[in-house]
Amino acid sequence: MTRPGGRSARVRDAVHDAVVELLAAGEIDAAIPKIAERAGVNPTSVYRRWGSRDHLLLDAAVTRLRATSPIPDTGSLRGDLSGWAEGVERSMRDRHGQILLRALVATLRPDEKPLEYLQARGEDLQEVLDKAAARGEAVPTVDEVLDFVLAPLYLRVLFRRPIEPGTGEKLVERLLTALPAGPAPSAA
C-alpha cells in the first residue's frame, strides 16, 4: 500500500517532474533510464511502478489534470462542470500541460483499451452527473461532456490554437443548452 505522502509520493513527484522537464527540453523520446537519472531515482523503481514509459506519461498527465482540474461539488451541474472546465482550460493554457497532452497523444496506440487512469476520470465525471440527476437536473452523458467540453480544449492544444480565458465556460454553456428539457435518469 502506498502512502499519500512519504517516499512514494516524493518519488512519483520527482519522476513526473523529470518527465515534464525532459519533454519541455525537447527530449520527447527520453527513455526510462534518462528519466530516472533526472529524477534522482533508480531506473528499477520507475520500471517497477510504471512498467513502461507510455504508462509513466499517462500517469503524469492524468495526475497533473486531477490536481489542476478537480471536479468541484457546487450543488449544481452547471457549477460543477464550469469549475472543472475552468481547471482543464487553465491546465491546457500552461506550457507543461500542453507538453504532457501532446506527448500522451503521441504514445497512445489505436488498438489499446482506455487505461485505468482515464477510466477513473470518466468515473469521476459520471459521479457528478449522477448527483445532478438525483437533484432532478437534466444531465448529459459522459461522452457528451467529453465531446462538447474536453475535446475542443484538447484539439486547440494539439493544433496549437490559443485557448482564451472563458473558453471552458462557453463550452459548458453550449453543452447545457443542447440538453433536452427535464431531468434525465441516472446512469447508475
CB of 97 within 8 A of CB of 68?
A: yes
pLDDT of res. 106:
80
Q: How far apart are the first and last CA of the chain?
A: 29
What is the Cα–Cα distance from 57 to 67, expressed in whole angstroms? Answer: 15
Burial class (CB in 10 A: 0-12, 13-18, 19+), 18: buried
What is the Cα–Cα distance from 35 to 95, expressed in whole angstroms? Answer: 19
pLDDT, tens digit, for every residue of 61-98? 878 877 888 889 999 999 999 999 999 999 999 988 89
Helix (H, G, I), strand (E, B) or coil at 22: helix
pLDDT, tens digit, for every residue of 111-148? 766 566 567 778 889 999 999 999 999 999 999 999 99
pLDDT of res. 111:
74
Residue in the block written with cell 465556460? 169
Mean pLDDT estimate for the chain: 86
Q: Which domains does the chain have, with CATH numbers?
A: 6-51 (1.10.10.60), 70-178 (1.10.357.10)
